[in-house]
């Protein structure tokens, strides 16, 4: 199973930079970049809530399941 992170696509749709999102969410650019590239192994619901609020989206907009 593969979970694809679509954070970059949602950010592009909202015309929001990584720096702007990191500031609004209260994360470092490095941690947010790791999430965006799929290098992070997990994410807290609190963080997901902050990202969804900043991007005005749903968690399902940020992730996609692709069967192997």
How is the chain split into domains, by residue range? 2-66
Average pLDDT estimate for 3-11: 95
Assess whether pLDDT exceeds 80 at residue 12: yes
Chain-centroid distance of CA 64 in Å reads 12
What would the pLDDT profile of 42-62 be if each residue is shown by its tens digit?
999 999 999 999 999 999 999
pLDDT confidence of 38, banded at 50, 70, 90? confident
Rounded to 10 degrees, what is the CA torsion of 49, 50, 51, 53? Answer: 80
Q: What are phi and psi of 3, to 5 degrees?
A: -105, 120
Is CATH 1.10.260.40 the right assignment for the domain spanning 2-66?
A: yes
Average pLDDT estimate for 1-6: 86
Q: Is 35 exposed, middle or buried (0-12, 13-18, 19+ CB in 10 A)?
A: buried
pLDDT confidence of 1, banded at 50, 70, 90? low
pTM of the model: 0.89
């Amino acid at each position: 199973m593969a979970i694809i992170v679509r954070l970059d696509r949602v950010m592009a749709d909202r015309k929001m930079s990584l720096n702007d999102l990191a500031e609004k969410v209260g994360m470092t650019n490095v941690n947010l970049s790791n999430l965006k590239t799929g290098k992070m192994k997990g994410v807290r619901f609190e963080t997901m809530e902050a990202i969804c609020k900043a991007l005005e989206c749903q968690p399902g907009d940020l992730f996609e399941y692709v069967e192997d």
